[in-house]
Amino acid sequence: MQFGIFSVSDITTDPTTGTTPSEAERIKAIVTIAKKAEEVGLDVFALGEHHNPPFFSSSPTTTLAYIAAQTSTLQLSTATTLVTTNDPVKVAEDYAMLQHLSDGRIDLMMGRGNTGPVYPWFGKDIRDSIELAIENYALLRRLWSEDVVDWQGKYRTPLQGFTSTPRPLDGVAPFVWHGSIRTPEIAEQAAYYGDGFFANNIFWPKEHYMRLIAYYRQRFEHYGHGTAAQAIVGLGGQAFIRPKSQDAWTEFRPYFDNAPVYGHGPSMEDFTEQTPLTVGSPQQVIDRYAAMRDYYGDYQRQLFLVDHAGLPLKTVLEQLDILGEEVVPVLRKELAKDRPADVPDAPTHASLVAKAYNGGPAREARPNANRGDNLSGDRPYQDSAAPAGASFGLAATRKGN
């Protein structure tokens, strides 16, 4: 079971002081936060992708590479990579490069994003978002699994004899989670390929995510990747923690009330009752999140949002201390109790390499003159067939097959 934090990268005014951090301050702060996460024993740091104010993280690969150079054990991830508006060729190249630089400590969370205007900024139409997600991801998988790719689709120029470089580390692509708040087609896509499914789990009542995760598990089993219980599930979450519950409520209330995402909407009382947001003592957070598997089954990754809504860096670092010292160690034990032996752990590069090579030595990618010629398009040979699922299409998801 992996525990960690994720950031949406918002730059928000602190309602208690009226101070708004600069972009430079917030970017430096996120590096400090990630390093602190490793220091306190968390497993994962994930960073979102946005291309509009008030967010700063337009280039998560750059930030994660910088963090990778200053950490040694922390698994790095995105939360999310916009599969709809990013070119899959660039995604393949950027994350394979980051995979090498981080010694495999990288995975991706694919998503469509939640900002409508981003589509025309990158020459896309939001009405095509599902089709873009399906086509772009199918191409991305081929770029990582095949040394030479011929491809033609609807939403980008064709490829002929194309080799994405660098090749994935050890010949094994980064693990992919598919993140969704509400879209069953994305759960279907994750299940089809045997990938992970990450439920945002910060805005809606548990019943909403129970249906979405149950659907993903059912389809994961349908496609022959294992039993429904063996599907790879991640959950988001939110917490604000102080030793005394009342202190947590008093301190966090102005941040909640003025947050760009849910401020000036439902009360904090209603929101904490109806969503996983937990404001209180360490034991209250433990009790709330230890019960998550009662609703969603045994799962592999739990991430918390702790650095949003204008919270000052000092407060965020204090939250990480409490998470790492008092909350996560207990949750690890609680969620390990009675966990079936056949429920897998969250995939890592090491586990994926071991699976790919049946425990033998990994293949080291080397320059190969026979691969193809990205300049001329000549293609001397094809050394691997299209992966299973290359024909995955929108029709199947809408039929719910």
Domains of the chain: 2-399 (3.20.20.30)
317-347 burial: b if 16+ Cβ within 10 Å, else e: bbbbebbbebbbebbeeebeeeeeeebeebb
Q: How far apart are the C-alpha atoms of 129 and 152, rounded to whole Å?
A: 18
Q: How far apart are the C-alpha atoms of 138 and 154, rounded to whole Å?
A: 12
Q: How far apart are the C-alpha atoms of 95 and 101, rounded to whole Å?
A: 10
Residue 370 has what pLDDT? 52
Enumerate the H helices of 8-87 as residue ranges: 23-39, 60-68
Q: What angle do CA 200, 205, 206 make, to 5 degrees?
A: 75
Mean pLDDT is highest, among 222-226, 256-260, 389-393, for 222-226
Question: 238, 5 in Cβ contact below 8 A?
Answer: no
Furthest CA-CA distance within the chain: 69
E-only strand ranges, 103-256 = 106-111, 149-151, 159-162, 176-180, 196-199, 233-235, 239-241
Which range (108-112, 162-166, 238-242, 248-252) has the least confidence?
Answer: 108-112
Q: Does the pLDDT at position 390 exceed 60?
A: no
Residue 52 has what pLDDT? 80
Q: What is the DSSP letter of 69?
A: T
Q: Is the peptide bond before 54 cis (omega within 30 degrees of 0)?
A: yes
Q: How far apart are the C-alpha atoms of 327 and 251, rounded to whole Å?
A: 19
Q: Does the pLDDT at position 217 exceed 50?
A: yes
Q: Is 283 exposed, middle or buried (0-12, 13-18, 19+ CB in 10 A)?
A: middle
Q: Is 141 exposed, middle or buried (0-12, 13-18, 19+ CB in 10 A)?
A: buried
How confident is the model over 343-347, as a mean pLDDT?
A: 96
Residue 215 has what pLDDT? 96
pLDDT bracket for residue 118 (50, 70, 90) = confident
Q: How far apart are the C-alpha atoms of 183 and 261, rounded to whole Å?
A: 20
Task: Provide the residue type at 349 as one letter.
Answer: H
